[in-house]
Amino acid sequence: MNDADFIKAFENGQFPPEQFNHKAHIKLAWIYLNLFDEETAIVKTCKAIKNFDRLHGDGTKYHTTLTVAAVKVVRHFKQKSSATNFEEFIVEFPRLITSFKELLFQHYGKDVIADPKAKTTYLEPDLLPFN
């Protein structure tokens, strides 16, 4: 599925729920960052995933802080990347898939991510800022 079809299927709720894994989450952020500035990519990623959770889940799995942090982490690596497509990007930075939690916990203490407010409101990193 090319990037345009991926976004269209995701935004229309036609993306297969069984295929929405961590890699697909990172790909969604990567595509939006290719199309928009960081702020818009964050808004669109949050809206798309929240909608996906309502359509295909029970509406309780969406986590604002994790979603925003994922876009910020992808942006960080994207700025260093020479990749022209998502698969090249992941080959270049495999830890976005294999070690994402470790990357995240460089910025956040586990208590911040576990805070109930983090699900509904973006909480800034308490250990290392993204910018």
Report residue 87 CA to chain centroid gap. 16
What is the DSSP track for 67-112? HHHHHHHHHHHHHT---SSHHHHHHH-THHHHSHHHHHHHH--HHH
Q: What is the pLDDT along the chain (131 residues), one digit of tens a residue?
A: 899 999 999 999 999 999 999 999 999 999 999 999 999 999 999 999 999 999 998 878 899 999 999 999 999 999 999 999 999 999 999 999 999 999 999 999 999 999 999 999 999 999 999 97
Per-residue model confidence (pLDDT) at position 57? 83
Is the CB of residue 86 less than 8 Å from the CB of residue 3? yes
- Phi and psi (nearest 5°) for 10? -65, -50
Kindly report whether the global pTM for this prediction surpasses the value 0.85. Answer: yes
At residue 124, the pLDDT reads 96
